Amino acid sequence: MKLYGSVTSPYVRKVRVTLIEKKIDFNLEQGYLTGNPPMIDGVNPLGKVPALELDDGTLIFDSAVIVDYLEGLNPVGHLIPEDRHQRMLVKRWEALSDGLLDAAVLVLLETRRDNPAERSQAWIDKQQSKVDRAMAYMSQQLGEKNWCQGDAFTLADISVGSALLWIEFRFPNHNWRKQYPNLDRLVTKLAQRKSFQDTPPQG
Ligand SMILES: N[C@@H](CCC(=O)N[C@@H](CS)C(=O)NCC(=O)O)C(=O)O
């Protein structure tokens, strides 16, 4: 299978970590976000990565749909519980992490506007408050537990790790590790896994 992606995207990282944890072979197709229009537009109508192309040509997007599909492919490294309630809670962690990223990406884009006069501080503050509330919620939900959900490593941990390590990559002055020592403890542990070590954000 082909994964259209980039080595900077945290949503792509979530999928790459999942593929590695589940020992599924894939080819990472990079460079599709460049060009005018970007080449990814010809692959994914939404013009976003990640997009996964199966060997029969089926295209899957977005990252939450991709990882759900991958989980069903084999029983290796079980990442999403079968129990409906537990499954919902893991997927909620994923939605929280992806939502935190969506808001953080908007902050980044707004602060990088070519013309600073077009920049809206009110918009940045609104998005930043979502990031801050999401992180506080993560920390409160994690508490003193070893893993985000249940007593094992799941997609919830992959999602949180991919999101917070991207925040560290793009916002090096953010002090979430000091502010939330329990998130620091979790992410430090996750960063030691081969799947995370093999997928550092670059660029
Ligand atoms: N909800 C999507 C978000 C994917 C996304 O926003 N990807 C970014 C890269 S980090 C992208 O492709 N941006 C290009 C664009 O929006 O034009 C997912 O989880 O797959």
| % of the chain surpassing 90 pLDDT | 99
Q: Which CATH architecture has domain 84-198?
A: Up-down Bundle (1.20)
Residue whose CA lies nearest to ligand 1 atom number 12: 48
To 10 degrees, the CA torsion angle through 167, 72, 84, 18?
Answer: -20
Distance 34 CA to ligand 1 centre (A): 13
Confidence of residue 156 (pLDDT cuts 50, 70, 90): very high
For residue 203, pLDDT beyond 90: no
Q: Does ligand 1 lie within 6 Å of residue 164's CB atom? A: no
Q: Residues for the chain: how many in total?
A: 203
For residue 161, pLDDT beyond 90: yes
Confidence of residue 202 (pLDDT cuts 50, 70, 90): confident
pLDDT, tens only, 7-66: 999 999 999 999 999 999 999 999 999 999 999 999 999 999 999 999 999 999 999 999
In words, the CATH class of domain 2-72 is: alpha beta
Residue whose CA lies nearest to ligand 1 atom number 11: 48
SS3 category, 3? strand
Q: Does ligand 1 lie within 6 Å of residue 110's CB atom? A: no
- Give the model's pLDDT for residue 142: 98
Q: pTM value?
A: 0.98
- Give the model's pLDDT for residue 173: 95
The two domains 2-72 and 84-198 share their CATH topology (first three levels equal): no
Q: Does ligand 1 lie within 6 Å of residue 77's CB atom? A: no
Residue whose CA lies nearest to ligand 1 atom number 15: 48
* CA 9 to ligand 1: nearest atom: 10
Residue whose CA lies nearest to ligand 1 atom number 13: 48
Distance in angstroms (rounded) separating the CA atoms of residues 183 and 107: 22
Q: Domain boundaries in the chain?
A: 2-72, 84-198
Q: Does ligand 1 lie within 6 Å of residue 49's CB atom? A: yes
Task: Compute how many other C-beta atoms are within 10 angstroms of the C-beta atom of residue 34.
Answer: 10
State the DSSP string of 48-116. Answer: -S-EEE-TTS-EE-SHHHHHHHHHHH-STT--S-SSHHHHHHHHHHHHHHHHHHHHHHHHHHHHT-SSG
* CA 38 to ligand 1: nearest atom: 17
pLDDT, tens only, 94-150: 999 999 999 999 999 999 999 999 999 999 999 999 999 999 999 999 999 999 999
Q: Which of 11, 14, 68 to mutate to test the pocket of ligand 1 (most atoms within 8 A of CB)?
A: 11
Distance 144 CA to ligand 1 centre (A): 32
